[in-house]
A and B are shown apart, each in its own frame.
Chain A
Amino acid sequence: MAESIVMDVRDFSFTYPGVEKPSLKKINLPIKENKITAMIGPSGCGKSTLLRAMNRIHDLYPGNTYEGEINLYKANGEKENILKIKKENDFIRLRQEVGMIFQKPTPFPMSIFDNVAYGLRLAGIKNKTELQDRVETALKGAAIWNETKDRLNESALGMSGGQQRRLCIARAVALKPRVLLFDEPTSALDPISTGAIEELIAEIKDEVSVVIVTHNMQQASRLSDYTAFMYLGELIEYDDTEKIFLNPGEKLTEDYITGRFG
C-alpha cells in the first residue's frame, strides 16, 4: 500500500537575513500522512530551521529568502506551495493546518480553558457549546483532562512543566491540524514526563501527521516511522527509521548514530 504524502519539500533552500550562505541547501523531503517523521542531526545542522519553514514561523522576522517549494496536499488532493503565501488570511489558514509545538512550554497568561480555546476562537468558532466540546476533546486527547477538568478557569501559568507541555499540545491538537511540527518537545524533561509525551505523540498520529525534531536518537528510533538525517544544512539521508538505524546507506549517518561525532 502506497502511503500518501501530506507535505513535500522540494529543492528547498533557505537563507537568513544578513547571511551570505544558505542555512538549508536543496532539501528534498516527503512527509507521509499519519506517520511520524523524525529529523535528527547535530546542533546547527538546520533541522529546526527546516521545521520552522514548514509553517513559515520564520516570517515573524523579516528578510528571509526562500527558494524551491514546500507543497501541502489538501484532503481533496489539491496541492499548494506554502512558500507562495503572501496574504495574512492565507497564513492564518496555513498555521491552522500545520501546527507547531515549541521546545519550551509556552502557556499564554490566561486560563487553561482560554489557552485551548484561543486558536479555536481565532479560527472563528464562537459558539459556546462547540468551544467547550472541542476544548474537552483536545484536553482528553492530550491526556490532561483528568488533571484539569476541575480547574479550567485557573491560570495555566500555575501548571507544572510537563502539564504545560501537554496543554500546548492540546492547544495545537484542538485546531485539528493536518500536520503537527514538534521542536524538541521533551528537552529538559524527566524520563516519566518524556514517556508521557512520547506516548501522546504516538497516539495522535492516527489523526495528524507528525514531524519531530529531536536530539535524542533513542527517541527518534522508538517513536518515528521515518527518519531524516541532516548535517550542515543538507539532508544526508532519509529512509525508514529501521533502515537508518540498523543499516544506514551513508557513512556520515552511521558515524552520527553510532556516536562517533555530533
Chain B
Amino acid sequence: MNRLFVNKLILGLSTLSAVIGIGFLFWILITLSYKGITSIHWSTFTNDLVEGGIRNLLVGQFTMAILASFLAVPLGMMAGIYLREYGHGSKLASVIRNLSDVMMSAPSIVIGVFVFALLVDPFGGYNGWAGIVALAIMMIPIIISTTDNMLALVPKELREAGIALGGSKHKIILQIVIKAAKVGITTGILLSFARIIGETAPLLFTSANNQFFTMDLNGQFPSLTVSIYNLATYPDEASRELAWAASFILTMIVLCINLIGRFVIRNKK
C-alpha cells in the first residue's frame, strides 16, 4: 500500500515538474508569437534599423555568424581530430579536452570582455572582426567536443581495416573516419551555429551595433541580438514593437536550424 502511494507521489511530482517547465516554454513562445507576429510588417524586412526595419541587422548577424563558422569549424574539427586520433591517451590531449569543456561553459560575457581587451581597445573602437572572433571562440569548444565524441563512435576496426589495406593514418582519417562520423559532426556544427546566432553578450562590446546597412567589418557592425537588447530599453512603442518582431524572427531562425539538425540525424541514421 505504502509502496504504491510513494510511486504515485513521485509520478505526480515529476509530471507536475514537467508541466511547469513546458508551461513556461509555451508561455514564452505564445507571448513571443503574439507580440512578434502582430509587429511584423513587410517593411520590417526591407528597411534598415534607422528606418524601423531589421534588414541590415539580419545581414549583419548572419555575416558575423558565418564568418565565425569559417574560423571555428576548421580549427575545432582539427583540434577534435587531434584529441581523438593523434593525442590518444596523452597528457596534453586530456588537458586540452578538459580545458575545452571548461570553455564550453564559460560565461559569454567573459569572452566578450576578453575580445574587447584583445581586438577592440588596441584598435581604437568597436569592429565587426572582434565580434566574429568572439563568436568563433564560443563555437570552437562545442565543435571540438562534438568532433571528439563523434569520432569516438567510429569503431576502431574501421581504422584498422583501412590501415590493413595499405592506407596511411592521415588518409584513413580523412577518407574513412570523417566520412563515417559525417552526420554527427554536421549536426554538431549546425547546433553550434544555432547557438551563436542568438548570442548577445559576446557582441555587446566587440562589434556593438550599427543602424545602417554596412559590410565594412572595420567599423561597428549591425547585429540583431544587440539591437533587441537596445530596442527593448527604449521608451517608445515603435522601438519595443520592433524588438518583439526581431525576437520572434530570431527565435524562428534558431528553431529552424535546430529542426534541420534533427532532420539530418533522423534521415542519415
A residues in contact (CB < 8 Å) with B:
55, 57, 60-62, 88, 91-93, 95-96, 99-100, 102-104, 106, 108-110, 118-119, 122-123, 168, 171-172, 175
- Given A60-B169, A102-B157, the answer on whether A108 and B164 have CB atoms closer than 8 Å is no
- Given A104-B155, A109-B180, the answer on whether A60 and B160 have CB atoms closer than 8 Å is yes
Cβ–Cβ < 8 Å partners of B182 in chain A: 109
Give B167's nearest chain A residue, CB to CB: A122
Other A-B pairs, 9, CB within 8 Å; known A92-B166, A123-B166: A55-B164, A57-B164, A88-B168, A95-B166, A102-B161, A108-B176, A119-B166, A122-B167, A172-B164
Cβ–Cβ < 8 Å partners of B219 in chain A: none
State which of B155, B167, B168 has its C-beta within 8 Å of the C-beta of A106: B155
How far is it, in angstroms, between the C-alpha of A106 and the C-alpha of B169 when the chains are bound?
17
CB contact list, B85-111 vs A, under 8 A: 88
7 shortest A-B CB distances, which residue pairs?
A: A119-B165, A106-B161, A100-B164, A95-B166, A92-B166, A96-B166, A109-B179
Tell me if B162 is interfacial: C-beta within 8 Å of chain A. yes
Tell me if B163 is interfacial: C-beta within 8 Å of chain A. yes
How far is it, in angstroms, between the C-alpha of A88 and the C-alpha of B155 when the chains are bound?
23
Minimum CB–CB distance for A174 against chain B, Å? 9
How far is it, in angstroms, between the C-alpha of A108 and the C-alpha of B177 when the chains are bound?
9
Give B168's nearest chain A residue, CB to CB: A88
How far is it, in angstroms, between the C-alpha of A99 and the C-alpha of B162 when the chains are bound?
11
List 12 interface pairs A-B (beta carbons < 8 Å), by A numbering: A60-B159, A88-B168, A92-B168, A95-B166, A99-B165, A102-B161, A106-B160, A108-B176, A108-B180, A109-B179, A118-B162, A175-B166
Contact (Cβ within 8 A) B179 A110? yes
Cβ–Cβ < 8 Å partners of A103 in chain B: 157
Number of interface residues of B (CB under 8 A): 21
Contact (Cβ within 8 A) B161 A168? yes
How far is it, in angstroms, between the C-alpha of A118 and the C-alpha of B164 when the chains are bound?
11
How far is it, in angstroms, between the C-alpha of A110 and the C-alpha of B175 when the chains are bound?
10
Cβ–Cβ < 8 Å partners of A60 in chain B: 159-160, 163, 169
State which of A91, A92, A106, A123 has its C-beta within 8 Å of the C-beta of B158: A106
Tell me if B171 is interfacial: C-beta within 8 Å of chain A. yes
Interface membership of chain B positions 71-97, coded 1 if the CB is closer than 8 angstroms to chain A and 0 otherwise? 000000000000000001000000000
How far is it, in angstroms, between the C-alpha of A109 and the C-alpha of B172 when the chains are bound?
12
Cβ–Cβ < 8 Å partners of B176 in chain A: 108-109
Minimum CB–CB distance for B265 against chain A, Å? 16
Contact (Cβ within 8 A) B158 A108? yes
Contact (Cβ within 8 A) B157 A122? no
Cβ–Cβ < 8 Å partners of A95 in chain B: 163-166
How far is it, in angstroms, between the C-alpha of A104 and the C-alpha of B159 when the chains are bound?
12
How far is it, in angstroms, between the C-alpha of A109 and the C-alpha of B150 when the chains are bound?
15
Contact (Cβ within 8 A) B179 A118? no
How far is it, in angstroms, between the C-alpha of A88 and the C-alpha of B164 when the chains are bound?
13
Minimum CB–CB distance for A8 against chain B, Å? 21
Cβ–Cβ < 8 Å partners of B163 in chain A: 57, 60, 95
Contact (Cβ within 8 A) B160 A57? yes
Cβ–Cβ < 8 Å partners of A102 in chain B: 157, 160-161, 164
Give B158's nearest chain A residue, CB to CB: A106
Contact (Cβ within 8 A) B179 A175? no
Cβ–Cβ < 8 Å partners of A122 in chain B: 165-167, 171
Cβ–Cβ < 8 Å partners of A100 in chain B: 160-161, 164
Give A100's nearest chain B residue, CB to CB: B164
Contact (Cβ within 8 A) A108 B157? no
Cβ–Cβ < 8 Å partners of A92 in chain B: 166-168
How far is it, in angstroms, between the C-alpha of A62 and the C-alpha of B169 when the chains are bound?
13
Cβ–Cβ < 8 Å partners of A91 in chain B: 168
How far is it, in angstroms, between the C-alpha of A20 and the C-alpha of B161 when the chains are bound?
29
How far is it, in angstroms, between the C-alpha of A136 and the C-alpha of B264 when the chains are bound?
34
Cβ–Cβ < 8 Å partners of A99 in chain B: 164-165
Minimum CB–CB distance for B199 against chain A, Å? 34
Cβ–Cβ < 8 Å partners of B168 in chain A: 88, 91-92
Give A120's nearest chain B residue, CB to CB: B165
How far is it, in angstroms, between the C-alpha of A108 and the C-alpha of B159 when the chains are bound?
9
How far is it, in angstroms, between the C-alpha of A109 and the C-alpha of B184 when the chains are bound?
14
